[in-house]
Amino acid sequence: MGDSMQPDDVSRRHFLGYTAALSAVSLGGLVISRGGVAGAAIARPRSETSPKRRSPGAATGGSLTVGMGSVIDGLTPFAIQGYVWSQMLGFVFYDPLIKKDSDGNLLPCLATEWDTTDPLKTILKIREGVTFHDGTPLTAADVAYSIAARADEELIASTAGRPIMTPSQWVSAEAVDDLTVEVITTERVEFLVNPQPVLIVPNDSFGSVNFANEVLGTGPFKLSSFTSGTGVDGVANEEYWDGRPPLDELSFAFFADPATASTGLRSGQVDALYDVAPLNVDAVSDVPGTTLTEAATYAYWWILQMGKPPLDDPDVRKALRHCFDIEAMNNASFRGKGTHTWNPFTLYPGGEDGPDIEIEYDPAKAKELLEAAGASDISVPILCIAGYDDGIAAAQVLQQSFEEAGVTCEVEVAEASDWLDRTYTTGTWEGITFNAGNLPFPSKNFFDYLVNPAVIFSDYKEGDVVPEAAELYRSINATAFEDPAIEDLLLDAQNMIIDDAIVYFAFGAPVSLVLPENLTGVVSNGFGDVEWHKASLA
Amino acid sequence: MLGVARGVAGQLGQLLAVLVAVSFLTFLLLDALPGSAADARIGPLPNFSPAERAELTASISEQLGLDKPLPWQYVIWIRNALSGDFGLTYQGLDVSTVIGDRLGATLELALTSIVVSVVGSLLVSLLAFRTRFRIVRGGIQGLTTILLVMPAFWLGLLLVIVFAAEIGWLPSAGYVPLEDGLGANVETLVMPALTLALPQLALFFRYLNAGLHDTAGADFVTASRARGLSERAIAYRHVLPNAALPTITVVGLVVGSLISGLVIVESVFSWPGLGLLLVDSVKSKDNNTVAAIVLITAATYVVVAFVVDMLYRLLDPRTRRRT
Amino acid sequence: MRRVRAWFGRQPLPLVIGTAMLLPFVIVAIVPGLVAPHDPLSIESLPLEGPSGTYWLGTDEVGRDLLSRCLYAARNDIFVSLSSAFVAFTVGTGLGLFAGYTGGRVDTLVMRLVDVLLSFPTIVLALFLIVVFGRQQWVQVLAIALVMMPSMARFSRGTGLVLRNRGYVEAAKLSGASRWHVLRHHVLPNSLPTLLVAASVLASSAVLISASLSYLGLGAQPPDPSWGNMLRSAYGVVYEAPLYGIGPGVCVTIVSGAYVLIGEGLRRKYRTDRNVAKGAVAVEASVGVL
């Protein structure tokens, strides 16, 4: 290399190389991704792709790895963050007091009987012969402590327990004898059916057990290892009160989000997937050797700010119902796989058959009705929660329709903490917002989720029909829900609510489980509770 | 000698002041965010009426000491931090433990990518400097420029599409800790490290390249040639060391900003590190975690800047005289 | 006409190419309606369709034309990158030149303040500002400018230091000129070429940072398109529509590359200072590869 380089030579070559490289990269990318669409359809045995499993042996040898689209930092059973923990990991390592079946009935778990006739005193009978993972027997004192850890002010502060009642409602939880607990409150509190149930730990154990990284529960699996943010491994609990689980090992791998979890299944990192959102179903429906089952119904529902104009006028609310382009919103949110209802109570399994109404999408009609109501120049903003992409997509469809009907509409996406602040804490929000989640059980809680927010979030006026409906619902005791006399009351309330457009419809779509074909015995009650302790590999 | 020591001490003092300022600023900013830590502990479910919620918030805030004035909270936090106690996350986990768990993963990724980018850039720039084929040099220039201007997450996306979705050689996401097997660990490490390292490599290359051309034309190189030294000797013995000096500065600055790049890469590849933890903590208003991470990254930057400064003084006598 | 062509031919090649690459985007940013075939906000078709005759790049996850969205996104991204680069440039240069030229305690104080900003992780600073002030465009511009400003300040401080000792400055000071006069009439004009190159680097980084912030969900609000939030959606649907991300990714790369080429061209044009090359890259490095 004797010749010195001239700057001009370099720049020209630089440019040539730049263009060549750019074209090569884009062409290559296009070709590969084009070919990729076809390539994905070719079945590929998973063992040839990336057979990295954390536990030895293939899926047929008694060990299973499940992927989850969310990350767990700690195993603490007190601070239950959402369904993933309370319905999944909680039930793997710990036991709750009661469980629910697919009809919505309550089943005994660690509590064999419960007496809620006295609203201020709940009496629980504890199951005999249960032991914790270290061999110590379960007694009423443990249950009392576990309940207090999520209700007592000071205990909550140190355990970071998610409260199941307020300090003013809480009095005490006492072990009356070895197998009986009395929980005393100042008013009726439905803590037994709290969607994030109390998980039972040994008495006085916070402080001596490092619950963030260790497990001391009664559940079907014992902890074998935990890597924060990455995954957790469990081994079968030989002494489990309901029988040793058939599986030897059960592991969970965490992914940052559901889309990434799907790729984990495709590449063979995990054998199964939990909590597959409707939007991600297409990505995992064709993986060989697996089946897709529905585990829960994920829904989002629209909540109206009825305490402020313009939505405080029932005529305005009824007019705006014609702006919902169900088909387009379904496509945008769930690729057309969702179901909707204007009567929220028919959307989940075991729900009541209330009046089912259909409302036509007709923005022109909405515009007319608005004019008739003297509200032709209104503004209805839509507030979305960041991260709920399906709701955000639907909000954009809705915005277009609102604009067509002559309504000014702005979509805003707020972070969860901001949204919480504006809706629950300060109540400064306006217009329409939505909340979302896996549908809970049963109707009473349903009311809590769909109708109550409309009531809670808005400052409804005196004499409004809403308080009557709310009163009606509050008088229903969830644990005495099976009482047929209540059905009429429910129907009345539903009619009231729907006629006055207090609730805008809910959209639901199945949340799926992807399981290996040779895995049987997984119990899923349709509400998102998935139990693995009867699962076995053929 | 004493003057040097005083200079060093002065530097240290200033850097400590920077750290304090950063941590207090973080506190202020966190306080300004809407929502509160108590809200996060209660959760979003509408199990409680507004009155009940307000009661819970007040009770939790009082227990956590959130109702005290901000400077007082800050002082308590500093005092605890000095003894290694960074408080609890809103889930009740010990912050230092959570960060410690995640730190390993981040360090692994960061160190790997630095090594790959530094070594890679050295090799590539030597190749570009010494090659006889102009097309090779042009191609390298072009590719590195593209890498520089490409968004990192796009690069990551393309890598995922090719290597994970299509060829299936590598897992698309996730992390296998070193203890669980070196092979598996490397498999999960490859793509994130590449996504992080390649743009850095391009950057170092440009810097080295400019430095190399610069020095190559310098007088002493001409003199060496006149003395009859082979081209290779000139390249290795004279050009490269002098070109490397400014690179140290660049490396120092880049390490500081590596952390931001990590956030993107960690989120694309589900790499359970500090970057991801940081974003999630800010969004969920987990103040203790955010404050701790910001402190760590600020300290890292400060330490690196200090070391780079010292190295510079040692290696290049021309800069010893302070302006 | 011939004189114009001759002038063009004298400009360094990268400058010409870079400007040629950037110009279409600037035009599209100003009058997107002229080029875009469809309305970027109207939901016209089924979501995630592949490229077709009507929708050249296919549709997005709600059913809107991807090509039009890509083009309209230029409006947001070009504006944000240029304005944040401008703000970072003016504020950073002003601070840095002032500090470097003045020296002493003022210099140290300003540089330490800059260090405080610099040691914040980029994302945290931007995240904070956006969560507190909202996701409007001006907040994005401010956030990105704040992130890039410290490196610009550091860099121009160096230039200020160097120039402080140059001959013409001494001469001006000897003849009794005030500090401001010297700064404005001597330091600034002589350092401007160097700084311009750095400014181009800033602009290129601004595009990338803005795309990254949008990717994390902190950029333009739906339904407005931006390249970053389109790439975010693309990642979510990578198995259903792998080609989604090609368009926005290419756009970001071209625009960012255009800025770099322009900078390269400016470097060639003002080849008075060897420090220009090193300086530009130093600014690149300290802004970071996001």
In tens, the pLDDT along B260-275 reads: 678 888 877 878 888 8
Task: State yes or no: pLDDT of A228 exceeds 60.
Answer: yes
Distance CA C19, CA C30 (A): 16
Distance CA C147, CA C210 (A): 11
More confident residue, C214 or A46: C214
Band the pLDDT of A52: cuts 50, 70, 90: very low
More confident residue, A183 or B6: A183
* Contact with chain A for residue B169, Cβ under 8 A: yes
Band the pLDDT of B156: cuts 50, 70, 90: confident
Are B142 and A32 an interchain contact pair (Cβ–Cβ within 8 Å)? no
Residue linked to tokens 């310098």: B218
Query: Stretch B231-238: mean pLDDT, rounded?
Result: 60
Task: State yes or no: pLDDT of B184 exceeds 80.
Answer: no
Distance CA A246, CA A123 (A): 34
Task: State yes or no: pLDDT of A174 exceeds 90.
Answer: yes
Band the pLDDT of C6: cuts 50, 70, 90: confident
Task: State yes or no: pLDDT of A475 exceeds 70.
Answer: no
For chain A, helix (H) and strand (E) counts, in that order, are: 16, 21
Neighbours of chain A (3+ CB pairs under 8 A): B, C
Query: Stretch A226-251: mean pLDDT, rounded?
Result: 89
Report, in angstroms and rounded to the nearest whole number, the Rg of chain A calculated over CA atoms.
Answer: 27
Contacts of B195 (CB under 8 A, 6+ apart): B152, B153, B155, B156, B159, B265, B268, B269
Query: Stretch C62-86: mean pLDDT, rounded?
Result: 89
Query: Stretch A394-423: mean pLDDT, rounded?
Result: 86
Band the pLDDT of A355: cuts 50, 70, 90: low
Query: Stretch A83-89: mean pLDDT, rounded?
Result: 69
Task: State yes or no: pLDDT of B45 exceeds 80.
Answer: no
| Nearest by CB: A335 against C41, C47, C235 | C47
pLDDT digits (tens, 9 = 90+) for C258-276: 888 888 788 777 665 455 5
Diameter of chain C by CA atoms?
A: 74
More confident residue, B170 or A254: A254
What pLDDT score was predicted for residue B188?
80
What pLDDT score was predicted for residue C167?
62
Question: Distances in Å between the alpha carbon of B267 and those of B18, B156, B199, B288?
Answer: 29, 10, 17, 21
Contacts of A412 in chain C (CB under 8 A): 221
Band the pLDDT of B130: cuts 50, 70, 90: confident
Distance CA A17, CA B135 (A): 7
- Least reliable range by pLDDT among A327-341, C140-154, C189-203, C204-218: C189-203
Band the pLDDT of B211: cuts 50, 70, 90: low
Token pair of B164 as six digits: 């994970």
Query: Stretch A404-413: mean pLDDT, rounded?
Result: 89
pLDDT digits (tens, 9 = 90+) for A185-215: 998 887 887 777 899 999 999 888 888 888 9
More confident residue, B197 or A9: B197
Strand partners, B145: none
Looking at residue A70, what DSSP letter applies?
A: S
* Contact with chain A for residue C139, Cβ under 8 A: no
Distance CA C139, CA C136 (A): 6
**Best mean pLDDT range from A493-497, B137-141, C171-175:** B137-141
Strand partners, A408: A379
**Scanning every residue of chain C, which has its alpha carbon at the shortest distance from the alpha carbon of B17?**
C112
Q: What percent of chain B has pLDDT over 70?
A: 68
- Residue B282's nearest CA partner among B18, B23, B37, B21 is B37
**Contact predicate B235/B126, CB 8 Å:** yes
Main-chain dihedrals φ then ψ at residue B201, nearest 5 degrees: -60, -45
Looking at residue A461, what DSSP letter applies?
A: P
Main-chain dihedrals φ then ψ at residue A289, nearest 5 degrees: 85, 10
What pLDDT score was predicted for residue C180?
67
Adjacency order of strands within the sheet including A111-115: A111-115, A121-126, A180-185, A170-177
Main-chain dihedrals φ then ψ at residue A531, nearest 5 degrees: -115, 135
What pLDDT score was predicted for residue A485?
60
Query: Stretch C143-158: mean pLDDT, rounded?
Result: 82
Contacts of A24 (CB under 8 A, 6+ apart): none
Band the pLDDT of B291: cuts 50, 70, 90: confident
* Contact with chain B for residue A45, Cβ under 8 A: no
* Contact with chain A for residue C21, Cβ under 8 A: no
Minimal C-alpha gap between B209 and chain C (Å) = 10
Average pLDDT taken over every residue of chain A: 75
Strand partners, A221: A236
What pLDDT score was predicted for residue B17?
82
Query: Stretch A379-398: mean pLDDT, rounded?
Result: 88
User: Length of chain C, please?
Assistant: 290
- Least reliable range by pLDDT among A14-18, A63-67, A502-506, C171-175: A14-18
Band the pLDDT of A241: cuts 50, 70, 90: very high
What pLDDT score was predicted for residue A33?
37
**Contact predicate A286/A41, CB 8 Å:** yes
Looking at residue A135, what DSSP letter applies?
A: S
What pLDDT score was predicted for residue A434?
86
Token pair of A437 as six digits: 């989640």
* Contact with chain A for residue B69, Cβ under 8 A: no
* Three-state secondary structure call for residue A433: strand
Contacts of B55 in chain A (CB under 8 A): 166-168
What pLDDT score was predicted for residue C217?
76
Q: Give the E-state strand segments of A271-328 in sequence order.
A: 272-276, 290-304
**Contact predicate C96/C279, CB 8 Å:** no
More confident residue, B229 or C197: C197
Distance CA B211, CA B248 (A): 12
| A-contacting residues in B 256-315 (Cβ below 8 Å) | 267, 269-270, 272, 276-277, 280, 283-285
Query: Stretch A52-71: mean pLDDT, rounded?
Result: 61
Task: State the DSSP string of C144-171.
Answer: HHHHHHHHHHHHHHHHHHHHHTSHHHHH
Contacts of A156 (CB under 8 A, 6+ apart): A149, A150, A163, B41, B59, B60, B63
CB atoms within 10 A of CB B61: 18
Contacts of B283 (CB under 8 A, 6+ apart): A386, A415, A416, A417, C127, C131
What pLDDT score was predicted for residue C3?
78
Task: State yes or no: pLDDT of B309 exceeds 80.
Answer: no
Task: State yes or no: pLDDT of A126 exceeds 90.
Answer: yes
Task: State yes or no: pLDDT of A41 exceeds 50.
Answer: no
Q: What is the pTM of this model?
A: 0.76
Task: State yes or no: pLDDT of C131 exceeds 60.
Answer: yes
pLDDT digits (tens, 9 = 90+) for B66-103: 777 878 888 888 888 778 778 777 777 788 888 887 88
H or E element at residue A411: strand A411-414
CB atoms within 10 A of CB B220: 12
| Nearest by CB: A16 against B97, B138, B181 | B138
More confident residue, C24 or A462: C24
Residue linked to tokens 């410290």: C150
